[in-house]
Structure 1
Amino acid sequence: MPDTRANFPADMLVFENQAMLGGYKIIAGVDEAGRGPLAGPVVSAAVVLPENFDIPGINDSKKLSEKKRAALFPVIQSQAIAFGIGIADHGEIDRINILQASLLSMKRAVDDLGLIPDYLLIDGKFTIDSNIDQRPVIKGDTLSLSIAAASILAKVTRDRIMTDLDLQYPEYEFKRHKGYPTKAHKQAILTHGPCPIHRKSFKGVKDI
């Protein structure tokens, strides 16, 4: 796991260090992207970082530019001990609600790691359905280096999915807003009606 070095704020390593002091060795940060959009999946990532992890500039993905996230994405993947991606699609979101779909995508990301961590740091206030010891961390993407790294992988992965979906449904301009409820997106729904990947249970879609 990361050690406390000058490249990272000490307070972004508190949760990792506490877990290590508790005897845990394989610590995974877990975060999701895409709870708020009106269309597309929710995507989660899980990341296990090594002690010699050395990538300055890691932060909550929402605080980074698209260009910066894209630059960090392959570097995190190459330096991580393991990373996994989990997806819950629009249909699952409509069936079980966005919170449960987010937690499901997080579980899938952990299952996709290729190894079994002994501790999870989960962004938010909920735990996931797993026998692995875990700790929810509110605003974890700004407080934990592992969660911040996961937030970047999740966000970039989801943005790429929405960019690909833009080719299938160009009238909604998913490449531009990634499915979030912008004025242009809401107008497109009014004009064209919902498309197959819209979340039919969400306000702004179900009422149309």
Structure 2
Amino acid sequence: MVPAAVGHPGNGVFAALCMTLLCAGLFGLLMLNTAMAEGSFTLHNLQSTSGELTDTQDALTQAIDAQRSPANLAARATKLGMVPADSAAFLRLSDGKVLGVAKPAKKESGFTVVTAPQVPSAKTGPDKKADPATTVTKKGDVTTTTEVVTQPDGSVVTTVTSVNAKTKTTTSTTTTKPPAKKPATKPTTPQIATPTQ
């Protein structure tokens, strides 16, 4: 009787190879998850920065629109000593001919700029909305735009927008002041004179 051949145990190379592949796969998965998390944080930061830059752009656009409004341009022209021209002349480039007659402008007491056509109203009393008064001040990196609007009912709405160019932040506050109340007058009672005897 010959005993059956006893299997010889392996030297562990295959097991070590399997463990190495498993560890390498887990390490790769960990690195992939870390990269994805870092990418999501970067995306969130970029989205928040984009929102702040959009707000800054809107505030700067409003400030530019306020600065180039007809009322502000007229006020600046008056400060520079400019006066409105009553007539104009044009040069035709095709033949070099001057069209129209230009006369020197004369300085008057002042001029007004009409920004919208005036519509007559059947109501009595002031019902027109006053033009907004806008002032822009710059202190360091902060540009502050203040716009004051008087409503038809007499209330005053003040909007203050501050843009910090360094931190890219924009703050805006709006306050409304109610119209001033008229003092109530006391009704006077008629005095009746009584005859004396």
**TM-score (structure 2 length as normaliser):** 0.21
> Which has the larger strand fraction?
2
Larger radius of gyration: 2
Larger RCO: 1 or 2 (CA < 8 Å, sep 6+)? 1
**TM-score (structure 1 length as normaliser):** 0.20
> Which has the larger helix fraction?
1
